[in-house]
């Protein structure tokens, strides 16, 4: 697994690069990804995230995370010796840090959630419909609790929050 991290604006990343890579490795392994994949992770400022959200989703406001899936890690038509370009996760640390207290999270915990959320999107999860949102939220919850244990923290303090569907965006 390769995670290409970009932070051209030199923004505070909220979690260290080693943890980003550990989170990605854990999510991929937990979801049964056995082949070599490449993920791009970019940190962008609030203005750039607003523009990306407007351009790609038609929503004229900022957001915390965007994901752009490329190839599926489970696509049997991609030769096994070829690296799968899983896609791009884009995080807006300013937005994440600002919203974290409203969800009862630290900025780092909220960033972990947004990273897991973005990675699950690259693996085909979605939350447009309520039933999809419930499945995705349950996976986020389970993965974040596992990651808390790996960090030596109490997994019972993990809070994912309400269903994250986009029906009303």
Residue 117 labeled ligand binder: yes
Q: Which long-range contacts (CB under 8 A, 24 or more apart) does 145-153 make?
A: 146/26, 146/30, 147/22, 147/23, 147/26, 147/112, 147/116, 150/22, 150/26
Q: Measuring CA to CA, which residue among 85, 81, 88, 82 is closest to residue 65? A: 88
Q: In whole angstroms, what is the distance from residue 82 CA to residue 70 CA?
A: 14
Residue 50 labeled ligand binder: no
Cβ–Cβ < 8 Å for 129, 165: yes
Strand order in the sheet with 65-69: 2-6, 37-43, 84-91, 65-69
Q: Measuring CA to CA, which residue among 112, 16, 135 is closest to residue 65? A: 112
Residue 168 labeled ligand binder: no
Give the residue ranges of the annotated binding site for Zn(2+).
Answer: 117, 121, 127
Give the residue ranges of the annotated binding site.
Answer: 117, 121, 127
């Amino acid at each position: 697994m390769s995670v290409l991290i970009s932070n051209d604006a030199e923004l505070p990343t909220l979690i260290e690069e080693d943890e980003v890579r550990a989170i990605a490795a854990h999510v991929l392994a937990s979801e049964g990804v056995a082949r070599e994949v490449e993920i791009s992770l970019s940190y962008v400022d609030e203005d750039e995230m607003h523009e990306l959200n407007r351009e790609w989703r038609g929503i004229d406001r900022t957001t915390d995370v965007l994901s752009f899936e490329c190839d599926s890690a489970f696509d049997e038509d991609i030769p096994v010796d070829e690296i799968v370009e899983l896609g791009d996760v884009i995080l807006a640390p300013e937005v994440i840090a600002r919203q974290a207290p409203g969800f009862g999270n630290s900025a780092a915990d909220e960033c972990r959630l947004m990273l897991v959320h973005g990675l699950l999107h690259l693996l085909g999860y979605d939350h447009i419909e309520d039933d999809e949102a419930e499945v995705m939220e349950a996976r986020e919850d389970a993965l974040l609790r596992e990651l808390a244990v790996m960090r030596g923290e109490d997994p019972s303090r993990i809070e994912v929050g309400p269903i994250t569907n986009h029906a009303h965006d």
